[in-house]
Amino acid sequence: MNLPYSRHVLICTGPRCGGERGSQRVRQELRREFVRQGIPATVKDTECLCLGLCTHGPNVIIYPDAVVYSGVKPQDVAEIVRRHLVGGQVVERLLYRGPKKGDPFAAEPDDLEDTGEGTPGSIP
Residue 81 · residue 103 · CB < 8 Å: no
Stated pTM of the model: 0.77
Decide if 50 is inside a domain. Answer: yes
The whole-number pLDDT of residue 65 equals 94
- Full strand arrangement of the beta sheet holding 67-69: 43-48, 7-12, 60-63, 67-69
Decide if 119 is inside a domain. Answer: no
Decide if 114 is inside a domain. Answer: no
The pLDDT tens digits for 27-44 are 999 999 999 999 999 999
The pLDDT tens digits for 77-86 are 999 999 999 9
Q: Supply the mean pLDDT for the chain.
A: 82
Decide if 17 is inside a domain. Answer: yes
- Residue 29's domain comprises 7-100
Number of domains in the chain: 1
Rounded-to-integer distance, Cα 43 and Cα 7, Å: 5
CATH assignment at residue 21? 3.40.30.10
For residue 1, pLDDT beyond 90: no
For residue 122, pLDDT beyond 50: no
- DSSP 8-state code for residue 37: T
Decide if 61 is inside a domain. Answer: yes
Decide if 68 is inside a domain. Answer: yes
Decide if 15 is inside a domain. Answer: yes
The pLDDT tens digits for 48-78 are 988 888 888 899 999 999 999 999 999 999 9
Residue 86 · residue 37 · CB < 8 Å: yes
Decide if 109 is inside a domain. Answer: no
